[in-house]
Structure 1
Amino acid sequence: MTQTSINYGIVLYELSVPQEAAETSRRILEEVKELSKVLESPVVPFDEKEKVIGRIFPEEMKNFLCVVCKYAHAALLPEIFQAYQDYYNEQHKILTADLHCVAPPTEEQLEGIRKFLLKKYQMQDAKIRIIKDESLVGGFLIRTRDQEFDYSLKGRINALQQKLIWR
């Protein structure tokens, strides 16, 4: 992610654009690939881009998207929306984590993992994305920020193997 994308993401947040409007715009660009190509194209005049933005996107996003297109940064829009979401989560103390597991956890287990993460990172909420991973053999692996918590059988077998090799 570039610093320009991060700056635009922060500006989008500071403009008090509702999260729903930003998410709707992100989905529109993701689903309609031709639209991204039009907004990114240097051949398409800015007036045309402005008309397209005016007809398709939520009212709260129109001015922001016009400025991004005016300065020829439309190719950065996916990164800008990601930077916006990251900054939004940071400001609202929401932690995002990936839970890799062989079988989906029960509600109790998920709540225990959530409490562990909230306490460890001193956050108010946690969004946990569950990813099925058969290669773990058993247990689970949590990835968040720059850390990884490996409670999988695969991880324990690898650790044991490393201990045996180093002896």
Structure 2
Amino acid sequence: MQMTESLNNYGKVLYELNISPESAAGARELLEKVPQVSEVLSSPVVSLAAKQRVVDRIFPREIHNFMKILCRYHKAGEAQEIFKAYQEYYNEKNNILNATLSYVVLPTEEQLTGIKRFLCRQYHVKDVAFQLQEEKDLVGGFTLRVDDQEIDYSLKGKINALQQKLTWR
């Protein structure tokens, strides 16, 4: 899903407020795990005062004012996307690469460290933020996706490449 310029701007504002990545991640995780919170904060039936009390009770203190502004301007329903935009902007500003690792069997810490080292050298960054996702149809191995590039180390990819070679002959 493509983020709107408005959501990206809110993410940048959150960054400019020097909100810690831990607070933003904590708030995003809370909204993901308890969708009722987002429903309450974005409901037109719930008063602004009630929404502000909810924010004060459950969110990290560091982002209270920001969350209250989202409620006031009817953007609380998009808070997860805003926190995602913040994280992407934070990573960009701090030379951290966003990468998606699709796997059949979750790699060990040692394997993840090796993949991270490879990506740091390849893309000249200081760190990598992985989004991990299980994909059983890869058969074995893994794929790495960075922006619009994909590096395929999966058995499915190797089988497809072999089939393509054989059909060309």
Q: Same fold (TM over 0.5)?
A: yes
* 1:21–1:110 CA distance, 2 compared to 1 (3 A): closer
> Percent identity, aligned pairs only?
52
State the superposition RMSD in angstroms. 2.2
Matched residue count: 167
Cα offset for 1:105?
4.1
Task: Tell me the equivalent position of 1:75.
Answer: 77
CA distance in 2, matches of 1:107, 1:32: 29
Tell me the alpha carbon deviations over residues 99-124 of structure 1, each in whole angstroms, 9 at most, x when there is no partner.
33344445554333222211121110
Q: Which amino acid aligns with 1:93?
A: N
Task: Tell me the equivalent position of 1:22.
Answer: 24
Q: TM-score, normalised by structure 1?
A: 0.85
Deviates more, 1:14-23 or 1:127-136: 127-136
Cα offset for 1:34?
2.2
1:117 paired residue among 116, 119, 122:
119
Task: Tell me the equivalent position of 2:60.
Answer: 58
Cα offset for 1:92?
1.4
CA distance in 2, matches of 1:39, 1:104: 35
Gaps of 5+ in 2: none
CA distance in 2, matches of 1:109, 1:48: 47
Q: Is 2:158 aligned against 1:156?
A: yes
* 1:131–1:19 CA distance, 2 compared to 1 (3 A): closer
SS of residue paired to 2:142: strand
The aligned runs of 1:65-104 (5 Å cut-off) are: 65-104=67-106
Deviates more, 1:2-11 or 1:139-148: 139-148
Deviates more, 1:74-83 or 1:96-105: 96-105
Cα offset for 1:166?
4.6
Cα offset for 1:87?
1.0
Q: Which amino acid aligns with 2:38?
A: S
Tell me the alpha carbon deviations over residues 107-164 of structure 1, each in whole angstroms, 9 at most, x when there is no partner.
5543332222111211101233554444333333212222110122221221232344
Deviates more, 1:23-32 or 1:116-125: 23-32
